[in-house]
Amino acid sequence: MSAGLTLALSKGRIFEETLPLLRAAGVEVLEDPETSRKLILPTNRDGVRVVLVRASDVPTYVQYGGADLGVAGRDVLHEQALAQGGSHGLYQPLDLKIARCRMSVATRADFDYAAAVQQGSRIRVATKYTEIARQHFAAKGVHVDLIKLYGSMELAPLTGLADAIVDLVSTGGTLRANKLVEVEQIMDISSRLVVNQAALKLKREALRPLIDAIAKAVSA
């Protein structure tokens, strides 16, 4: 492992919303991922580089040391922790309070979710978050058949693939555009800083000041 720090980010909202925090901590990313095809981006700091990975791959990179630290949504972190039996052993020092949204259950407007729950019917639920959904419905005592999807969950109730979806909602615009209604909120979501456990010890001198500076930027 090099002495430098590798930070894993995903393109899009997490990258965009992490940039100001990094800047406040004195780290400027020197290339724009929307125009560059590079997967490793240099920063103004010799010892700090950014690697671009899929949002759901950030915890994996950090867990196995492909990156020393990263930024990932609570949705992704919680789903992977459940899939790994409860914990992935990542140090999570900071809620960055960015990329905020909520995870919710949504259905077609003409599907009576409350009645289905009340009657103990089996509900077909399509989601990318099968572990979180399983836990949520089990805790409520609702019987569900889970259908794993990788994207465009909103389409599932419209095509008859499922009665309900578990997905992220921020403005509610996507649900409205597809004539779906939010019937239950499962959890609030924001992005967290995650740090590799070994790096926390071996690279403490480089990591600690960076984590502290980001913490300061978050509370500013």
Binding site for ligand PRT (CB under 6 A): 10, 12-14, 54-56, 73, 75-76, 99, 101, 151, 167-174, 189, 191
Q: Which amino acid is at 141?
A: G
> Where is 24: in which H helix or E strand?
helix 13-24
Strands (E), the chain: 5-9, 40-42, 48-52, 69-73, 91-95, 101-108, 123-127, 144-148, 164-169, 180-189, 191-195
Minimum separation from the CB atom of position 173 to ligand PRT (A): 4
d(CA 104, CA 52): 28
Query: What is d(CA 172, CA 175) in angstroms, rounded to the nearest whole number?
Result: 5
Nearer to ligand PRT, 8 or 189 (CB): 189
- Closest distance of CB 175 from ligand PRT, Å: 6
Q: What angle do CA 190, 195, 200 make, to 5 degrees?
A: 150
How many alpha carbons fall within 13 Å on the CB side of residue 52?
Answer: 18
Residue with smaller CB distance to ligand PRT, 107 or 117: 107
User: Do residues 21 and 96 touch, judged by C-beta distance below 8 A?
Assistant: yes
Separation of alpha carbons 64 and 31, rounded Å: 26
Nearer to ligand PRT, 77 or 117 (CB): 77
Residue 98 or 207: which CB sits closer to ligand PRT?
98
Least CB distance to ligand PRT at residue 94 (A): 15
Nearer to ligand PRT among residue 1 and residue 158 (C-beta): 158
Nearest-approach distance from CB 34 to ligand PRT, in angstroms: 12
Nearer to ligand PRT, 56 or 121 (CB): 56
Query: Least CB distance from residue 3 to ligand PRT, whole Å?
Result: 30
With residue 174 as reference, give the H or E element that holds it.
Answer: helix 173-177
Cβ at position 165, least distance to ligand PRT in Å = 10
**In terms of DSSP bridges, do strands 69-73 and 5-9 run parallel, antiparallel, or are they unpaired?**
parallel
